[in-house]
Structure 1
């Protein structure tokens, strides 16, 4: 199923009665970039989309939410994991990063993600932050994690736990794909 990132961004911006310039002023992302994203002429990095969504007061998972079936559910098959990767087409990791969320947005006080980083992929050139705590374990490959001014290269079996209010970034230096399982609470990513 295709997800129209541009149309969804425009819908959320207009719902808040904001112009592209007003949103740019709040987020520090240029109005030209916002326009290109809304036209699906470019796909933002995770860090850029996160900055825009903070300006709209919406989480990444809520941004990519689709109508759900009602009722509680405690298990999820791999095909049911919700992709929350900013890209022009769902299922195609922009820049080699793919995030899949377990469960519905807002259904739990914790957000659990299955993350995949292709060799050379990252969350964007800029560090980003959000109001939460996060932790993760590297299942395979290697990932360079920057938190504040410190960078560590983590390998399979290594983990991390930090305050997400501290600016951070993830980068796979390669040469193989990296898989991480992470959690965030509250679910603000």
Structure 2
């Protein structure tokens, strides 16, 4: 998916100028211009901020607007990339209309971190480490997980993920309601 092109299309569909969306989102219109021209790849947090100004959820943004059916299989090459830099999020089921679960195949390079600001949103999330090691922060606690270990928590609790160890972290995660 071309994120810049998609953002421009949904902004124009909402009849908003870059300047108006910038005001609503709390970002600069220069940033929106760079995203729409694919000069920068927004972080998930930045993209969510932009979409909040429309308003539109990440799930709606990444939904396949041309296919309103319900495919059963989502091959690796049709799973949209939602991450950037050292973190890859591949969304499974992006084209499923009315999706109530957000399921992702995640890869984090050694040392990659979801950021200094903890994440927090409505719902619940869970996951299983496939390869590598994860340091998971939830509230004031931290946990170290390896292959086969899983987690499950209320997503309103502040949380953060860090890839530790000597190889990239791979995991499968899910959240509900879908935040992507």
* Fold match (TM-score > 0.5): yes
Matching of residues 70-85 of structure 1 within 5 Å: 70=69, 72-74=70-72, 76=73, 78-79=75-76, 82-85=79-82
Distance 1:95 1:137 in 2: 22
Tell me the equivalent position of 1:99: 89
Tell me the equivalent position of 2:13: 15
Q: Per the alignment, do residues 95 and 26 of structure 1 end up closer, same or farther by CA in structure 2, a change over 3 Å counting?
A: same
Distance 2:141 2:30 in 1: 32
Structure 1 residue 42 displacement after superposition: 1.0
Tell me the equivalent position of 2:108: 117
Distance 1:169 1:133 in 2: 14
Q: Per the alignment, do residues 17 and 167 of structure 1 end up closer, same or farther by CA in structure 2, a change over 3 Å counting?
A: farther
Structure 1 unmatched runs, 5+: 87-93
Work out whether 1:51 is the aligned partner of 2:49. Answer: yes
Distance 2:159 2:126 in 1: 12
Q: Per the alignment, do residues 161 and 179 of structure 1 end up closer, same or farther by CA in structure 2, a change over 3 Å counting?
A: same
- What RMSD in Å do the two structures reach over aligned CA positions? 2.6
Contact 2:136–2:159 (8 Å) recurs in 1 = yes
Number of equivalences: 178
Contact 1:138–1:159 (8 Å) recurs in 2 = yes
Contact 1:61–1:84 (8 Å) recurs in 2 = no
Structure 1 residue 29 displacement after superposition: 3.1
The worse-fitting range, judged by mean Cα deviation, of 4-13 and 100-109 is: 100-109
Distance 2:23 2:136 in 1: 29
Distance 1:162 1:27 in 2: 29
Structure 1 residue 174 displacement after superposition: 4.4
Q: Per the alignment, do residues 21 and 183 of structure 1 end up closer, same or farther by CA in structure 2, a change over 3 Å counting?
A: same
Q: Secondary structure at the match of 1:95?
A: coil
Contact 1:24–1:34 (8 Å) recurs in 2 = yes
Distance 2:159 2:11 in 1: 26
Distance 1:146 1:25 in 2: 33
Residues 66-124 of structure 1: per-residue CA shift (max 9 Å, x gap): 33273x444x25436522414xxxxxxx2122222222343432222111112233334
